Structure 1
Amino acid sequence: MSKSKKAVRAVCIVIIAIFALLLTTYINHQIQLNREAELRSPLGQMVEVDGHDMSVYVEGTGGTTLVFMSGGGTCSPILDFKSLYSLLSDRYQIAVVEKFGYGFSDVVDKDRGIDSILEDTRAALSASGLAAPYVLCPHSMSGLEALYWARKYPDEVSAIIGLDMAVPEYYDSMDINIPLMRIAGWAANMGVTRFIPGISDSDAIKHGALSEEEKEIYKAVFYSRTATATMINEMEGVKENADKVDSMGVPQLPILLFVSDGSGGTGFDKDTWRRIPIEYISQVDEGEYIELDCPHYVHDYEYKAISENILSFLLKH
């Protein structure tokens, strides 16, 4: 056999081996998804928005509703925020809206302009029987939605409590690698992520107050809601969304920002990460900020201190 034929044969063998490995990985993923189906039973209620199902979790009672809004790519918002909102629901009604592509909501390949995202959230709350005004509690990228909401519908927002939330200036220099996100989405859909040790152990699992059962639910959701098409669409439009929010100006209402040290995946150094929101809040008459020595998912680390400060802030305002 000639060298060229041997080389071609070797290449074919490698291709077949890779294909067989991926096929085996995908089949295993589907089997595991079926086994995890019960774990992925919705924790809250499912409401119809724009012809698709969205997940909304409601807990507690009271005349004020705190709406928790997840950051980009947080696969299980209901469980991600649980350590914090469970300390507040004895005094306030809390709601967690899981956007399309997140948690128990449908994955929908649709426009993720800031207006589309906001109208979905408003429709989901309305369908759940919750009425404005709300206290918005956004984490990370959802800060854009909260600021836009306060400007577009000021009567619907009584205050904003930012959990290391994003403000428009962050996106001026942020490097967003969409091709890498697409690769991550492909790997998740194929089940490759199941073979990466510890990848499903989120900050909520490692540092929060979740029960063992809730940790298993979180992991099950992770394997079905990682880098979804909806999440990627959000990231593709986030810079344009930030520009639109910036053009609306700074809202004037009570705002409390909890600011992390920038570690945990922000891509910014500590000084820059803290400078940007502090400069932003200085433009708000009733604005306050609290610096925390912990990573970006502040509500999974300092949930006790945050809950105490939220109670004080809401009583004052």
Structure 2
Amino acid sequence: MEKFWKYFKRIVIGIVVTALVLLSSMFIFGKIGKASDRKKIEDYGEKVEVFGKNINMYITGEGEEKETIVLLPGYGTIAPKISFDPVTEKLKDDYRVVLVEPFGYGLSDQTDRERTTANMVEEIHMALQAKGIDDFIFMGHSIAGIYMLSYINTYPGEAKAFIGIDTSVPTQPMFPMDTTVLRLADKLGFLQLTMTPPFGKPTVPSFVPEEDVDQYIYFTRNTSLNDTLLNELGNLSQIFDDAKGYSLPKDMPVYLFVQEFNEPIPTWQALHEEQANSVDNGKMMLIDGDHFLHFEHSELIVKETKAFLNEFVVKPQ
């Protein structure tokens, strides 16, 4: 019996030591991999300081219409500039387009500030103020609908139209999320390992041009589950609750591009129809596609947006 326990202890110690070596190796691999990817990411945009950290803003287009469109990405957008190029490239001939990357997104810094609706809206406002932008059209995807709605209520008179690309609404179903496992997987380097050949590789959407594939992969491995994004993910339920008391101004032109078939949320169409009907000049277009409508339907979205703005938005003199 004594020999059995002796061998048993050796086996247990061996397993523990092996596990620690593997975890340490994975941790080191993750750290080195992220540092390497960061060096390969090409710089773009303009940085503005907000609460001691940098928010990146990609600004393009002169715009014959003399209008500015402020564009906000959806939650966890891996590489905002690449993801929204299909839209910004089609808008820039007629508008100045300002793509704001909140903290944790794209080339923006991470932050220790809690990811609440109030904090994120305040940061976006400060970034726009730093560029003298206080008269613009809001355009956004997914959860950006919540932040745009909150911004409009917090800083009235700045945004003069609301363009939603399958945007979230405060009353849609949303449940608290535990990010412990995701945070641990990121810290240990597990995700970096599974997204690096020969162990695996990130999924790159078909809309990404060949010349941008490597950059998209670097962003994916570097920013997918950073602490700032995970903090926002953990707060999503509260973020939606905080916006439930807000509504759009009656005189604000609103155009919602909405996914026609959303199986997880059967009331998706009805919720957006209600939002569009809450204003004097509200419009909704159903599109047969996935949540990321701007990937495959950018031409339709931009064409409709231009026509809508030409009809309902008064141009600056």
CA contact (8 A) 2:38 2:222 kept: no
Give, in whole Å, the separation in 1 of the partners of 2:119 and 2:243: 13
For 1:53, the aligned partner's letter is N
Query: How far apart are residue 123 of structure 1 and its match?
Result: 1.2
Residue 247 of structure 1 pairs with residue 250 of structure 2 = no
Residue 212 of structure 1 pairs with residue 215 of structure 2 = no
- Residues 63-82 of structure 1 correspond to what in structure 2 (within 5 A)? 63-82=66-85
Residue 84 of structure 1 pairs with residue 82 of structure 2 = no
For 2:299, the aligned partner's letter is K
Structure 2 residue aligned with 1:9? 10
Residue 55 of structure 1 pairs with residue 56 of structure 2 = yes
Give, in whole Å, the separation in 2 of the partners of 1:217 and 1:126: 30
Equivalent in 107, 110, 121 of residue 104 of structure 1: 107
Q: Please identify the structure whose Cα radius of gyration is greater.
A: 2
Give, in whole Å, the separation in 1 of the partners of 2:261 and 2:135: 31
For 2:78, the aligned partner's letter is C
Give, in whole Å, the separation in 2 of the partners of 1:167 and 1:286: 18
Give CA-to-partner distance per residue, 1:159-186, whole Å, 9 cap, x none.
Answer: 011111111011xx323422xx332233
CA contact (8 A) 1:255 1:286 kept: yes
Structure 2 residue aligned with 1:150? 152
Structure 2 residue aligned with 1:125? 128
Give, in whole Å, the separation in 1 of the partners of 2:29 and 2:46: 30
CA contact (8 A) 1:67 1:96 kept: yes
Q: Aligned pair in 2 of structure 1 residues 8, 291: CA closer, same or farther (>3 Å)?
A: farther
Query: How far apart are residue 261 of structure 1 and its match?
Result: 4.2
For 1:13, the aligned partner's letter is G
CA contact (8 A) 2:152 2:248 kept: no
For 2:194, the aligned partner's letter is I
Residue 303 of structure 1 pairs with residue 303 of structure 2 = no
% same residue: 26
TM-score (norm 1): 0.88
For 2:232, the aligned partner's letter is E
CA contact (8 A) 1:99 1:121 kept: yes
TM-score (norm 2): 0.88
Query: How far apart are residue 270 of structure 1 and its match?
Result: 5.5
Q: Aligned pair in 2 of structure 1 residues 125, 42: CA closer, same or farther (>3 Å)?
A: farther
Q: What is the SS of the residue equivalent to 1:118?
A: helix
Structure 2 residue aligned with 1:256? 255
Q: Aligned pair in 2 of structure 1 residues 233, 58: CA closer, same or farther (>3 Å)?
A: same
Q: Aligned pair in 2 of structure 1 residues 254, 131: CA closer, same or farther (>3 Å)?
A: same
Residue 272 of structure 1 pairs with residue 250 of structure 2 = no
Give, in whole Å, the separation in 1 of the partners of 2:269 and 2:161: 21
Give, in whole Å, the separation in 1 of the partners of 2:310 and 2:272: 23
Q: Structure 1 residues 183-192 or 295-304, which shifts more?
A: 183-192
Q: Structure 1 residues 186-195 or 219-228, which shifts more?
A: 186-195
Query: How far apart are residue 130 of structure 1 and its match?
Result: 4.1
Q: Structure 1 residues 95-104 or 129-138, which shifts more?
A: 129-138
Give, in whole Å, the separation in 1 of the partners of 2:261 and 2:51: 36
Give, in whole Å, the separation in 2 of the partners of 1:192 and 1:60: 40
- The aligned length equals 304
Give, in whole Å, the separation in 2 of the partners of 1:301 and 1:4: 63
Give, in whole Å, the separation in 1 of the partners of 2:249 and 2:13: 61
Structure 1 residue aligned with 2:276? 281
Structure 1 residue aligned with 2:315? none
Q: Aligned pair in 2 of structure 1 residues 30, 236: CA closer, same or farther (>3 Å)?
A: closer
CA contact (8 A) 1:262 1:269 kept: no
Q: Aligned pair in 2 of structure 1 residues 98, 280: CA closer, same or farther (>3 Å)?
A: same
Give, in whole Å, the separation in 2 of the partners of 1:35 and 1:290: 43
Give, in whole Å, the separation in 2 of the partners of 1:29 and 1:112: 25
For 1:286, the aligned partner's letter is N
Query: How far apart are residue 132 of structure 1 and its match?
Result: 1.9
Query: How far apart are residue 95 of structure 1 and its match?
Result: 0.9
- Tell me the C-alpha RMSD between the 2 structures: 2.1
Please list every run of 5 or more consecutive structure 2 residues that lacks an aligned counterpart in the other structure. 313-317
Query: How far apart are residue 223 of structure 1 and its match?
Result: 1.3
CA contact (8 A) 1:55 1:105 kept: yes
CA contact (8 A) 1:68 1:96 kept: yes
CA contact (8 A) 2:74 2:140 kept: yes
Give, in whole Å, the separation in 2 of the partners of 1:223 and 1:188: 10
Residue 93 of structure 1 pairs with residue 96 of structure 2 = yes
Query: How far apart are residue 24 of structure 1 and its match?
Result: 1.9
Query: How far apart are residue 257 of structure 1 and its match?
Result: 0.7
Q: Aligned pair in 2 of structure 1 residues 59, 261: CA closer, same or farther (>3 Å)?
A: same
Q: What is the SS of the residue equivalent to 2:59?
A: strand
Query: How far apart are residue 32 of structure 1 and its match?
Result: 2.7
CA contact (8 A) 1:81 1:299 kept: yes
CA contact (8 A) 2:170 2:244 kept: yes
CA contact (8 A) 2:69 2:97 kept: yes
